Structure 1
Amino acid sequence: MAMKIRLARGGSKKRPHYSIVAADSRMPRDGRFIEKLGTYNPLLAKDSEDRVKMDVERVKYWLGEGAQPTDRISRMLEAAGIVEKKQRANLKKAEPGKKAKDRAAEKAAKAAAAAEAAAAPAAEATPEATEEQAAE
């Protein structure tokens, strides 16, 4: 049996509340589970002690039995110091695509050209203005 330590959602619409459970990976997310290991309330402040509550001894037991934590649970376990922090690959998800980069380059070029054009007449107008002021 492939075991997972994962979140099972509860709560009402737009008010999530999760249970940390040990479940067979073939069961649905909110379906049958073997044991409830704790709770997670994402609506509480990040520094709140009640945000994540888990039975550390039972979590260690299930990890020893070969249960695989999901990504979110493994981050919680890392924060609690139960599991050592693993290296994750950041696959440049936040980097814009090629077309967006091209549009940004064009926009920057237009802005530079406009700034240069605005600076040139201003530089020419300044000596003329001073000559007119001196003549008066």
Structure 2
Amino acid sequence: MVVKIRLTQRGKKHQHSYRIIAVDSRKPRDTGNYLEELGHYNSRTKEIKLDKESIQKWLSNGAQPTQTVANLIKKHL
């Protein structure tokens, strides 16, 4: 099982916010079946909140972040 760290979309139409989650790479994006929630990102206010310990744990266990999540992690860790 390959674990990805990626964004899942939440919020209203034209007012998106995102959760940063660890999920099996074969699962669809917005099903809600994820392994762990690692933080959130609001694209309108640019607010980012990350659980640094959990992200480090998943990365050390071989999880692969998407390009967007990797950029967010690089900015805030």
Greater percentage in strand: 2
- Structure 1 gaps of 5+ residues are 82-136
Structure 2 unaligned runs (5+)?
A: none
Structure (1 or 2) with the larger CA radius of gyration: 1
Match of 1:64 among 29, 53, 60: 60
C-alpha distance in 1, partners of 2:66/2:58?
Answer: 13
Q: Match for residue 23 of structure 1?
A: 23
Q: Secondary structure at the match of 2:34?
A: coil
Task: Give the partner amino acid of 2:53.
Answer: E
- In the alignment, which residue of structure 1 is the partner of 2:50? 54
Q: Which residue of 1 aligns with 2:41?
A: 40
Cα shift readout 1:66-93 (whole Å, capped 9, x = no counterpart): 0000001000111123xxxxxxxxxxxx
User: Which structure's residues are more often helix, by fraction?
Assistant: 1
Q: Say whether 1:75 aligns with 2:71.
A: yes
Higher relative contact order (Cα pairs below 8 Å, separated by 6+ residues): 2
CA RMSD of aligned residues (A): 0.8
